Structure 1
């Protein structure tokens, strides 16, 4: 392990557009269903629904959080609807699975999605046995990243010392609260960032290819 990461005992990964490349456009399918959900709920056209959806995403962390705050939407109904997609664009990623297996310590998934969806994604990627647990939106009491409570809850749930954690995530803004409590941060800058932040001081490492980066930090093992 490279010296700068010798302290890491807990490896925490976001799911969408982190454990698989944004270029698969899997999340675009979810995004389209979110727009359709908002359009049907509010009785508006898809262009206006997309605007509302993104306003909620930026203002509340997720579209769902905004819908719950403003329209009392049932989170289970929303998540079941938006995650009802084909996953044929995902392929098994043996090099990533091998790299994660070599990481010393615990490995966790930390996602604003729900566990059933995460399990399906991990299975498609060949990562079904790679992680100890999935800390999902329900485990966050429906208060998603980047809310500080989501990160505290993760650490409390698994007895994690933030100073011994690395968190990898494609949304740069979701790394800021992790850094604030002492985690090492890895930004997977693969083109999915939707809320750019001029201040990147909270990012310790950046990569466009998670698998290649993990193999690089492990090359001396």
Structure 2
């Protein structure tokens, strides 16, 4: 058995959708809402994204930001329904693969793309956990394998 890991953002939909640009603006606004000046907000956003894989991790670690508030103001406020549409070729590709082990944001994207019935399970950055891990932290991948019941990384594809 193999396990196929699908990265939702800019993978199941085109990077040309504009979602990353919209997200960047929302995150920048979040930094500005903390009272930071434009340049300081931009620099800190880049620093946290580069160091932690998510700006949110840096915000949580250094500014005690509530991840669910961040999620509401950033991820959940994106106009995804206007930016992405189902891709019949991608759907067919997933239908042709034996069922593989694959939350709010992920479920929403999968639903909009009409792929939610093609995915057996989700592994995600769980903002409800006080010290969640995320890509590219190796701990994220170890936790994902554990949750999926996978012990042999050579059977996993990302």
TM-score for the superposition, normalised by structure 2: 0.90
Deviations 1:64-94 (A, max 9, x none): 0111111011111111110111111101111
Residue 99 of structure 2 contacts residue 120 of structure 2 at CA under 8 Å; is this kept in 1?
no
Q: Which consecutive segments of 4 or more residues in structure 1 shift more than 6 A?
A: none
1:101 equivalent to 2:98? Answer no
SS of the aligned residue for 2:115 comes to coil
List gaps (5 residues or longer) in structure 2.
none
1:165 equivalent to 2:153? Answer no
Residue 17 of structure 2 contacts residue 83 of structure 2 at CA under 8 Å; is this kept in 1?
yes
Q: Which has the higher helix share?
A: 2
Deviations 1:93-120 (A, max 9, x none): 1110110111124140xxxxxx111111
SS of the aligned residue for 1:55 comes to helix
TM-score for the superposition, normalised by structure 1: 0.65
1:90 equivalent to 2:84? Answer yes
Aligned to 1:127: 115
Residue 99 of structure 2 contacts residue 118 of structure 2 at CA under 8 Å; is this kept in 1?
no
1:24 equivalent to 2:14? Answer no
For 2:59 and 2:144, how far apart are their aligned partners in 1? 24
Residue 48 of structure 2 contacts residue 55 of structure 2 at CA under 8 Å; is this kept in 1?
yes
For 1:143 and 1:156, how far apart are their aligned partners in 2? 13
1:73 equivalent to 2:61? Answer no
Deviations 1:111-149 (A, max 9, x none): xxxx11111111111111111111111188511111111
For 2:36 and 2:64, how far apart are their aligned partners in 1? 18
Deviations 1:46-68 (A, max 9, x none): 34312210111001121001111
Q: How does 1:151-162 map to 2 (within 5 A)?
A: 151-160=141-150, 161-162=152-153
SS of the aligned residue for 1:135 comes to coil
The CA RMSD measured in Å over matched residues stands at 1.6
List gaps (5 residues or longer) in structure 1.
1-7, 109-114, 168-221
Higher relative contact order (CA 8 A, sep 6+): 2
Q: Which has the higher strand share?
A: 1
